[in-house]
Amino acid sequence: MSQLQTGDPAPQFTLPNQDGVKIKLSDFKGKKNVVLYFYPKDMTPGCTQEACDFTANKNKISKKDTVILGVSMDSPERHQKFIAKHQINFDLLSDESAEVCQAYDAYQMKNMYGKKFMGIVRSTFIIDKKGKLTHVFPKVKVKDHVEEVLAALAEIK
């Protein structure tokens, strides 16, 4: 599968959020930009930090006419616990089949402590109101990532 590029149409999806409500990318077309970020697992240190960073900056992101959507393979129930524990203020989507993760090339072979396995590679995509990718951040490092996203959002007309 080839890597998604800036300017490509964002792959469409419909996924349940933490409450089991189906969220479609097309729901935002013509209305909002979307920060779509993929992360490995609820309740882990890096993923918690990333979610808390987005939560802390939600107002700045919202001012850019943008919604935040986090995606992992965790269940909606686990997302509910994660949201409650860390007061996360945006939707977390459940991609238990990894289909959407694969469509965005965020589901890849990983190597941890010499063990190879398939998993989510932390990645962020900014999708404009027309449904096009304006920014692609593969293999994201959590530290300062929200600042990168805010800088990218400032470039969207």
Per-residue pLDDT of 112-137, as tens digits, reads: 899 999 999 999 999 999 999 999 99
3-class state of residue 67 by DSSP:
strand
Predicted model pTM: 0.96
Nearest CA to 153 out of 13, 37, 39, 71 is that of 37
Count of domains observed in the chain: 1
Judge whether 5 lies within some domain.
Answer: no
CA distance 106 to 22: 21
The CATH number assigned to the domain holding 102 equals: 3.40.30.10
Could you tell me the residue range of the domain that residue 64 belongs to?
14-155
Helix (H) or strand (E) holding 91, with range, is strand 91-94
- 52 classed as catalytic: no
Is residue 126 within 8 A of residue 28, CB to CB? The reply is no
Judge whether 75 lies within some domain.
Answer: yes
Judge whether 66 lies within some domain.
Answer: yes
For the four alpha carbons of 37, 39, 42 and 48, in that order, the dihedral sign comes to: negative
Of the candidates 10, 15, 34, 47, the residue annotated as catalytic is 47
Per-residue pLDDT of the chain (157 residues; tens, 9 = 90+): 458 999 999 999 999 999 999 999 999 999 999 999 999 999 999 999 999 999 999 999 999 999 999 999 999 999 999 999 999 999 999 999 999 999 999 999 998 899 999 999 999 999 999 999 999 999 999 999 999 999 999 998 7
